[in-house]
Amino acid sequence: MLGEIRGEVRFKEMLSFHTSLRIGGPADIFVVPQDIDDIRHALLFAEREQLPVAVVGGGNNLLVTDRGIRGVVLKLEGCLGRAEFHGEEAVAGAGVGLSALIREAASLNLGGIEALVGIPATIGGALAMNAGTADGTIGDFVSAVYFLHPDGTIGECKPAASGLSFQEFSLPAGAVLVGARLRLHRRPYGEIQKDIKQRLKVKKQTQPLALASAGAVWKHPPGELATKLIERVGLRGKRLNGAEISAKHANFIVNRGGASAADILSLMELTRERVHAQLNITLEPEIRVIGE
């Protein structure tokens, strides 16, 4: 079945090449599918061999452990990378870059989704994480999502038709998101561009964008900002080898060069313990930790 894959199949591929943190050990079997059939072949192979499957989109929200991943890793960035526009709707494959979609929509005077500019993501990863900002999330735009079940059949969810919001949708276990329909609205290109420029300016001022990171490490506990809690317990700027709780934005951990996953995990553990001990608040990770 692996032989039927037309895309790439690599063995012992270092995942540090595929994560924004530049960290992560080897994946036993690393597949860059070319199309949905390739994803099917990989899923069926994994099922037959009883191997776990991990999906990587752009790798912007992932901490992969130093020992890497046993089983099959599907890398979807660069696959299913087409977007089409029909009226005020975009139909995008899971591998389409969010920023490319925002740019393409803007050039057609279609907006709304520019509220998500500056979030490094594939559409699949953005959907899986319901990525967003205080102004809204990608779920606000979803009219349908499409996914592949582990047995290779296609699933579909139209949140509004089922009386749900996208936020209430949960992807069936082992399924891979392959695309979505997103509702946009007419907005003049100039206005969208102005908005994008302003949003990117704020991101640049507040986030450590020049250094490798995986975005916000912790979810905001109800009524609190994780950043403020970390500052209150004195951990802003704390370093361990090449890892640092960012001095610019304490809810980011950056890799200043040579940091290991173990370094990041130690800083996370320290943060969690100290915030709990001093403030009696339990932080929950926003980043996904995967691997052995």
**Of 121, 142, 245, 254, which lies in the binding site for ligand FAD, with binding defined by CB under 6 A?**
121
Binding window for ligand FAD (CB under 6 A); candidates: 54-62, 82-90, 107-115, 220-228: 54-62
**Distance between CA atoms of 155 and 189, rounded to whole angstroms?**
35
Identify the residue among 79, 131, 243, 250 touching ligand FAD (CB under 6 A): 131
Contact mark string toward ligand FAD, 164..203, x via CB under 6 A: ------------xx--------------------------
Considering only the stretches 26-34, 209-217, 218-226, 253-261, report the one whose residues sit in contact with ligand FAD under the rule CB under 6 A. 209-217
Residue 55 engages ligand FAD in binding (rule: CB under 6 A): yes
CB 59 within 8 A of CB 13: no
**Complex with ligand FAD: residue 75 or 274, whichever CB lies closer:** 75
Query: Of 9-17, 28-36, 102-110, 118-126, which part binds ligand FAD (CB under 6 A)?
Result: 118-126
Q: Which among 149, 174, 150, 147 is positioned nearest to 158, based on CA atoms? A: 147
∠ Cα 11 16 17 (to 5°):
75
At closest approach, how far in Å is the CB of 129 from ligand FAD? Answer: 4
User: DSSP secondary structure string, 143-205?
Assistant: EEEEEE-TTS-EEEE-TTTTT--GGG--PPTT-EEEEEEEE-EE--HHHHHHHHHHHHHHHHH
CB of 144 to ligand FAD, least distance (A): 15
Q: Does 62 bind ligand FAD (CB under 6 A)?
A: yes
CA distance 108 to 94: 21
**Span from 45-53, 57-65, 149-157, 224-232 in contact with ligand FAD (CB under 6 A):** 57-65
Six-digit token pair at 257? 């060069």
The DSSP symbol for 236 reads T
Q: Is 128 in the site for ligand FAD (CB under 6 A)?
A: yes
Smallest distance from ligand FAD to CB 289, Å? 10
DSSP secondary structure code for residue 218 in this structure: B
Closest CA to 23 of 250, 258, 239: 258
Q: Which of 25, 59, 112, 291 binds ligand FAD (CB under 6 A)?
A: 59
CA angle (219, 144, 127) in 5-degree steps: 25
Contacting positions for ligand FAD (CB under 6 A): 20, 55-62, 76, 94, 119-122, 124-126, 128-129, 131-133, 176-177, 207, 209, 213-215, 288
